[in-house]
Amino acid sequence: MERRKTYIEDVDRGIYDIKNKFTYRYKSDKGLTPEIIIEISKEKDEPKWMTDFRLKSLEIYSSKPVPTWGADLSGLDMDNIITYVRPDADMGDSWDDVPEDIKKTFELLGIPQAERESLAGVGAQYDSEIVYHNIKQELVDQGVIYTDMETALHQYEDIVREHFMQLIPPNDHKFAALHGAVWSGGSFVYVPEGVNVDIPLQSYFRLNAPGAGQFEHTLIIVEKGANLHFIEGCSAPQYRVTNLHAGCVELYVRENARLRYSTIENWSRNMYNLNTKRAIVDKNGTIEWISGSFGSKVTMLYPMSILKGEGAKSEFTGVTFASTGQYLDTGTKVVHAAPHTISSINSKSISKNGGHAFYRGLLKVTPDAYGCKSTVSCESLMLDNESASDTVPVIKLDNDNIDIGHEAKIGRISDEAIFYLMSRGINEEEAKAMIVRGFVEPITKELPLEYAVELNNLINIELEGSIG
């Protein structure tokens, strides 16, 4: 008997696709002009140096071509993107002060509950601005700063000016320049020397406006011997127009410090996700990336670690899930720029229903980075014959006193494994889901609890209807 498959074009994403009425206090015109940039900066009451920075970034953006080496970006038309939407809300430190429709959105996403149960501080961004921000008093008493970038720009201007877009300069690539021109929102974290933030901080970025872009900037500085776990969540409802996300994350990990940066990006399938993330790590410091990419029409995202100090470490754990109409081009970059530095990369991708998962990585060892060690593992799982998966790991070694290992696997679910589970009374759909959950288990166990649950729920939703 011939087996037939039923494909669903658009998965019901539940709470993620709940839309609020598009209301705003202010929004920019569509497109990119110096006049729009100046108006955004004026609306935010920024110092002159930031206005000048934005205008210079716009010049760089205009001079650079659209990248052609990765995903197809021809459907992205900046002339039809609204780059700034100020929601009809002021930032507060009480959920009672957040407008009811916005508060309900974050309640459905579970943010207030997570704050009460397991977080030391929360920031919530809606469209282009933070609408809620709070941090536990005991962290404030230890000198920890956790606030939105607009507040940081005014209250900690010297620190922001010293670090802002120094790791990711506007001339890095076209969309870094775009970010420099139109950035808005995001989080600023400063952890003083020796302070251990043992309960995570979390920022959640929600884009509600159709045809808009979100360009939050995250700047985190973890001083000598300090420790922090920062969680980032992102989502948006489905629209029939193009949305854009081009955020920027800059992480400074000082000597003997540790930073874990966990992200789940669950954008809708009309989103171009062109995010840039980079960390620089001093002597014996550690950066840990936990990355999950599930949503969006197109993603190009490669968190980068620069191991600047001797003994610095980087760990990257990532999972990508590409389904119908999705091209998710993800990976990571590591630069060993000092002796005895250590890195590990564990990347897994799943593709189904014609989705395309693409791993793109860079491992670079400089001439002075003797005695360094690195292991790279890339595994891809295709759930049908219509899907695609590619792996392009680039390794550049300017030193032979090193220990480098690389492993890559691409395969499909074994019919024998499915048959075995079905012979034990498990239906085909659940058997397939069990195998997929087992495949991503090394990633899931590293995620914060609510995101691990979200990942398993997502696997259930995505696989529903794909077999039968």
Q: Which run of H or of E encompasses 280?
A: strand 276-281
In this predicted structure, the answer to whether residue 429 has a pLDDT above a threshold of 80 is no
Please check the confidence at residue 30 and state whether its pLDDT lies above 50.
yes
Alpha-carbon span 227 to 221, nearest angstrom: 10
pTM greater than the 0.85 cutoff = yes
pLDDT of residue 468: 33
Q: 465 vs 7, 82, 183, CA distance in Å?
A: 6, 36, 40
**Rounded to whole angstroms, how far apart are CA atoms 132 and 106?**
10
In tens, the pLDDT along 96-152 reads 877 777 777 777 667 777 777 767 788 777 777 777 878 888 889 999 999 999 999
The interaxial angle of helices 415-423 and 428-444, nearest 10 deg, is 110
Q: How much is the pLDDT for 371?
A: 95
Mean pLDDT of 226-234: 89
Average pLDDT over residues 83-101: 74
Worst-scoring range by mean pLDDT, 92-96, 114-118, 390-394?
114-118
Across the range 197-222, mean pLDDT stands at: 86
Percent of the chain whose predicted confidence (pLDDT) is above 90: 45
Kindly list the distances between the CA atom of residue 157 and the CA atoms of 46, 90, 177, 183, 188, in Å, as whole numbers in the listed order: 10, 21, 21, 16, 11
Q: What is the pLDDT of residues 318-337, one digit of tens each?
A: 988 888 888 999 999 999 99
Least confident of 150-159, 245-254, 425-434: 425-434
**Side-chain half-sphere CA neighbours of 402 within 13 A:** 27
Kindly give the pairing relationship between strand 388-397 and strand 356-365: parallel
Asked if 357 contacts 383 with a C-beta cutoff of 8 angstroms, the reply is no
Who's near 3: CB < 8 A, 6+ residues apart?
none
**Considering only CA atoms, which of 342, 339, 396, 395 is closest in space to residue 369?**
339
* Residue 263 contacts residue 251 (beta carbons within 8 Å): no
Burial class (CB in 10 A: 0-12, 13-18, 19+), 63: exposed
CB 270 within 8 A of CB 50: no
Asked if residue 224 has pLDDT above 50, the reply is yes
pLDDT score, position 270: 83
Which residue blocks in 292-427 are alpha helix, DSSP H?
Answer: 415-423
pLDDT band at 459 (very low <50, low <70, confident <90, very high): low
- State the Cα–Cα distance between residues 326 and 135, nearest whole angstrom: 37
In this structure, the dihedral spanned by the alpha carbons of residues 257, 319, 446 and 306, taken in order and rounded to 10 degrees, is -10
Confidence (pLDDT) at 451 = 63
Q: Which of 411-415, 433-437, 457-461, 462-466 has the weakest average pLDDT? A: 462-466
Residue 458: how many other CB atoms lie within 10 Å = 21
**pLDDT at position 239:** 65
